[in-house]
Amino acid sequence: MADTNDDLKTQLRDIRNKIRITKVVATRSVKGQRGDSFAGFSAGWQSIQNDYGGAGADAMPDAEEDAENAVQGMTLKEARIAHYMVAMTADIAALESAACNGSISDTYFNDTARSVKNNYGRLIQKVMGKTSDASDPESE
């Protein structure tokens, strides 16, 4: 247990720097006059799936083979950027589906898609350090 606030911050910073992310997921739905439109994306990062089980698990590679094939995942910073990219894609895909089935107007789609791209662009720039935000936990 940390004795001081500084010790705790140091421990949390060390843990954050060691965490590796291997997958990001984003799902979205848009409610429109003709129903809901859904989109979901999942993106893996140069890793192997090693949490398999159930039927056919005996045909899967063993832990030793997994260790040979495993690669390091993304840092938290990289994962945040990857998540924003995947989330933006899911947002726009759900909007596209809603526009295609007539649930939202083309004008609404165009305005919202432009806004989504701009907003995610700003978030990505912030994480990359292109803008400053004192409330950002990654800025320490």
In a domain, 75, yes or no: yes
CB 75 within 8 A of CB 45: no
In a domain, 113, yes or no: yes
Express as a percent the part of the chain with pLDDT over 70. 74
Please give the structure tokens belonging to residue 49: 């799936």
In a domain, 12, yes or no: no
For 43, the domain range is: 20-133
In a domain, 4, yes or no: no
For the chain, how many structural domains are there in total?
Answer: 1
DSSP label at residue 21 = B
What is the distance between the alpha carbons of residues 95 and 37, in angstroms, rounded to a whole number? Answer: 8
In a domain, 107, yes or no: yes
Taking only the tens place, the pLDDT of each residue in 48-106 is: 555 545 555 555 555 555 555 555 788 889 999 999 999 999 999 999 999 999 999 99
In a domain, 5, yes or no: no
In a domain, 64, yes or no: yes
What is the distance between the alpha carbons of residues 23 and 82, in angstroms, rounded to a whole number? Answer: 9
Q: For tokens 């010790």, what's the residue?
A: 7
In a domain, 102, yes or no: yes
Please give the structure tokens belonging to residue 111: 């305005």
